[in-house]
Amino acid sequence: MNLRVLVLTTSLGVAITLSAVNFYFQHKWYDVMVTFSVALGVSYFVFYYLIEKYIYSRIKLIYKLIHNLKLGRDLRDALGEHVSANPIADVEQEVKEWAKQKKTEIDELRKQEKFRRDFLSNISHEFKTPLFAIQGYIEALQDDDFDDKEMARQFLEKASKNVDRLSYLIKDLDEISKLESGEMPINYTKFKINDLIKEVFESLEIKGKQYHIKLIFKQKYDEPIVVNADREKIRQVLVNLIDNSFKYGKEEGNTSVSLFVLHDQVLVEVTDDGIGIEEKFLPRLFERFFRTDSSRSRQIGGSGLGLAIVKHIIEAHQQTINVRSTEGLGSTFGFTLARAKQTIPFPNLPVLKS
């Protein structure tokens, strides 16, 4: 309902009321018509002036402010000033949408604040653990004054391992930071994913034997599968996922890699038959420092950033990664890669002699 219709409706109500009162006392239709006409005209102009000056103009101002806030400066400058034909109705819709948007933003900010607190708490704990260990070994060496050389050697080795752990943390944090900021570009090349998987298997074969886990490459296709991605970064993804399967696999277990050719993508799946993951932990699995079993994870080692790095690398390729798992049965991590178009080479044609 626009302003004129609102004022006219209100004026009609006043005019009809006064006319009815006049008819009740005078019983003259002429007087009723005069009263109705005068009351309608006077009410219309008085109400129009009052509502326009004290209510309608302010509603238009509120609508304009909210609309411009929603658009932002760039869009506002491009589109110019927006004038609503019916700001009274539009302002209600604008306020509802604006309130919904702000609620979403506030919820997102709260979620980010919680993530920030958790991240700071986790990173503080991850750094404090090796630092306190190093400090303890150094103080023990200082108190002993190197009298027991065998103990001193053992303490130095343990301190060295904790220094390595700090180095891994800093390196992984730096890598995630560069991936997020775009400082680490994706160098796309066409390569055979089959060959890369075999290379990763060869490099991790000894480590797999240490964990008593057998590596299996489920290759169902005879011809090579070519993808378009950053070869070294995808190597890192495979190494991180397979290494993760070693840590949470079971002795005499298996870790297998499977390939599935889709229309324009290739799905790579890394499957283990280890301890599995509880369903409630799956949505948070790729968060930094998130551990489903903190005590076991820290005994195993690692920075706690492997899966976060994997997620960042795959998303930098504009692809997706997912996980499905059943507690006690194992887990499967799957990620997609862009499939490269393979050109068919022309056969060597005989040269025509004149």
Q: What is the tens place of the pLDDT at every residue in 52-83? A: 776 766 676 666 666 666 655 544 444 345 55
First to last CA, the chain: 89
Q: What is the pTM of this model?
A: 0.60
The answer to whether 281 and 302 have CB atoms below 8 angstroms apart is no
Residue 347 located in a structural domain: no
DSSP conformational letter for 283 = G
Give pLDDT tens digits for 115-156.
Answer: 677 666 667 767 777 788 888 888 888 877 767 778 888 888
Most confident option among 56-65, 85-94, 122-131, 326-335: 326-335
Residue 146 located in a structural domain: no
Q: State the pLDDT at residue 66.
A: 67
Residue 330 in this model has a pLDDT that exceeds 80: yes
Average pLDDT of the residues of the chain: 79
DSSP conformational letter for 184 = S
DSSP conformational letter for 211 = T
Mean pLDDT along residues 282-311: 71
Residue 282 located in a structural domain: yes
Residues 190 and 329: their CA atoms lie apart, in Å, by: 35
Residue 145 located in a structural domain: no
What Cα–Cα distance (Å) separates residue 330 from each residue in 87, 323, 327? 59, 11, 7
Residue 28 located in a structural domain: no
Query: Domain range spanning residue 259?
Result: 189-338
Q: Which two tokens stand for residue 196?
A: 């890369």
Q: State the pLDDT at residue 223.
A: 75
Residue 171 located in a structural domain: no
Q: State the pLDDT at residue 10.
A: 84
Residue 102 located in a structural domain: no
Residue 49 located in a structural domain: no
Q: Which two tokens stand for residue 72?
A: 């932002």
CATH number at residue 218: 3.30.565.10
Query: What is the number of structural domains in the chain?
Result: 1
Q: Taking the mean position of all CA atoms in its chain, how far away is CA 150?
A: 50
Mean pLDDT along residues 292-302: 53
